[in-house]
Amino acid sequence: MRFLSAAASTAAILALLGFGTCGDDPVDDDDDTPAKITGDPTPSDATPAKVTPPKDAPKDAYLDALPAEHRGHIQGLSGPETAGAARDALASLGEGALGTLQDAALLSSDPATQGWAIEVIGRIPGDRSDQTLELIQGRTNTSALVRTWAAAARIKRATDLAGLAALAPLAQQMPALQRPLGMRATALVDSDSTAADLIALANSTPALQQALAEPILARGADALLNTMFTHADNTIRRTATGYLGTLAGRDASVAAKVADAYAWSPKHDGVFWAGGALYVPNLQWQQKEARVLVGHLVEWHLVCDRLGLSGEKQQVYNNLRSVQLHRPAGMPWPNNDTNQLLQQWAGVVGQPLVDGMLERHPATKATK
């Protein structure tokens, strides 16, 4: 009966930390025994209710070093009937119980006690609780399950997406953290989170991509376009491009908005995508939108040539070469020479449109 109660308590701990149930505790083959960590004897002003531990509570040696007022509460964590009251009593002690809870998490022979101790640490506010959980997570001479519980508690304590993103790499070491990461990410998404913030978080761990897909798309085409054109990280620019493609598949009006976003304006100082790569979403372009977009890219090819921006000109040309774009526009394979490119485009849309483009910059047919 003792074993069954501990197993049931362990399952409940996993659920509270965001896991659900999982397999058996991995074998800890580290022969080192954790150094004893004495409980914090500092008394608290709180007067928690007395908890009578179950008769079959573990009698581990580390309990003797704990403050007397903490010992019974820790033993109470092992019993399903007493665990709730014991957790509340320990949490009410605040930081004064952190040393005791750390001892229980690292030194107890009872998995339920270890798990509930970590859960209570997660309830106590303050930097010391964060540090305690990080210490438990980093103890290589304790079980992998206990370390994973501590990491999950850290994730649950994350108060913003930036803090959660800093913890996301833990999922590469502990795959069981993928679910709590996704759950916490979903809970933290709010109106203040930018498309770039969410994309960065989704890119940091594959486990978050599905959970964050809808919040990212909900930011809309304008936010994704801004991220695609201006973000300092090309990986995030490229990911935003992919989300725009998904959004365009749901809403036919997005293609026109994307095409218009590439238009040249007298307000531009140099190129508007400066500081990174220039991407074009791989949409199912129709002729109307494709011609608008190709026209803008041809104009940028001219602008970059006039300004001597050879690298940016090549970026424009790389996108013009996309068969999925220039073919729907009725454009033959584009020439990288600006004069030849303008002649090609005049053959598609007519010379007056190209003449207007030349006048805007200004340039003439004879200008090289």
What's the pLDDT at 35?
40
Is 108 part of any domain?
A: yes
* pLDDT at 356 exceeding the cut of 50: yes
Q: In this predicted model, what pLDDT tens digit does every residue of 184-218 receive, in sequence order?
A: 888 888 777 899 989 988 887 676 787 788 889 99
Domain identity same for 14 and 153: yes
**Domain-embedded: residue 69:** yes
The b/e string for 241-271 (b: 16+ C-beta within 10 A; e otherwise) is: bebbbebbeeeeebbbbbbebbebeeeeeeb
Give the total number of structural domains in the chain.
2
φ, ψ dihedrals at 356, nearest 5°: -65, -35
Task: Answer yes or no: do 16 and 146 share one domain.
Answer: yes
Q: Is residue 209 part of a domain?
A: no
Query: Within this chain, do residues 139 and 6 fall inside the same structural domain, yes or no?
Result: yes
40 band by pLDDT with thresholds 50, 70 and 90: very low
Q: Is 297 inside any structural domain?
A: yes
* pLDDT confidence bin for 182, thresholds 50/70/90: confident
pLDDT level of residue 329 (50, 70, 90 thresholds): very high
Residue 68's domain comprises: 2-157
Q: Which two tokens stand for residue 128?
A: 């010391």
Domain final residue, candidates 136, 157, 178: 157
Whether 28 is in a domain gets the answer yes
Instruction: State the DSSP string of 168-204.
Output: TTHHHH-GGGHHHHHHHHHHH--TT--HHHHHHHHHH
pTM of the model: 0.62
The whole-angstrom separation of Cα 166 and Cα 101 is 25
Q: Residue 30's pLDDT is what?
A: 38
What is the rounded end-to-end Cα distance, in angstroms, of the chain?
A: 89
Tokens linked to 86: 């014991």
Domain boundary among 157, 178, 210: 157
**Helix (H), strand (E), coil (C) string for 41-69:** CCCCCCCCCCCCCCCCCCCCHHHHHCCHH
Interior angle at CA 106, CA 105 and CA 108, nearest 5: 75
Side-chain-side CA neighbours of 28 within 13 Å: the count stands at 19
Confidence label for 163 from pLDDT (cuts 50, 70 and 90): confident
Band (pLDDT 50/70/90 cuts) for residue 320 is very high
Helix, strand or coil for residue 231?
A: coil
CB distance 247 to 254 below 8 Å: yes
Is the pLDDT at 365 greater than 90? The verdict is no
Q: For 325-349, what is the mean pLDDT? A: 97
- pLDDT above 90 covers a percentage of the chain that reads 63
Question: For 178, phi and psi rounded to 5 degrees?
Answer: -60, -40
- Provide the pLDDT for residue 237: 97
**Residue 237 included in any domain:** no
The alpha-carbon radius of gyration of the chain (Å, integer) is 30
Q: Are residues 142 and 269 in the same domain?
A: no
Q: If you search the block for the tokens 């908890």, which residue do you land on?
A: 51
pLDDT band at residue 19 under the 50/70/90 scheme:
low
pLDDT score of 263 more than 90: yes
Asked if 152 and 6 sit in the same domain, the reply is yes
- Under a CB-based contact definition with an 8 Å cutoff, are residues 148 and 174 in contact? yes
Q: Looking at the domain assignment, is residue 33 inside a domain? A: yes
Q: Is 234 contained in some domain?
A: no
Where is mean pLDDT largest: 26-35, 196-205, 222-231? 222-231
CA 239 to chain centroid, in Å, comes to 13
Weakest-pLDDT range from 16-20, 47-51, 157-161:
16-20
Distance CA(338)–CA(52), nearest Å, equals 86
**Residues 6+ away with beta carbon under 8 Å from 15:** 21
Report how far residue 147's alpha carbon sits from residue 151's, in angstroms, rounded to the nearest whole number: 6
Return the ∠ at Cα 272 (arms to 270 and 276), rounded to 5°: 100
Asked whether 298 and 317 are in contact (CB, 8 A), the reply is no
State both tokens at 252. Answer: 């036919």
Q: Please give the structure tokens belonging to residue 227.
A: 């991220």
- Interatomic CA distance for residues 73 and 51, integer angstroms: 6
What does the pLDDT look like over 42-72, one tens digit per residue? 444 455 556 676 766 778 899 999 998 899 9
Please give the mean pLDDT across all residues of the chain.
85
Length of the chain equals 368
Of the residues 99, 126, 157, which one is the last residue of a structural domain? 157
60: number of Cβ within 10 Å = 16
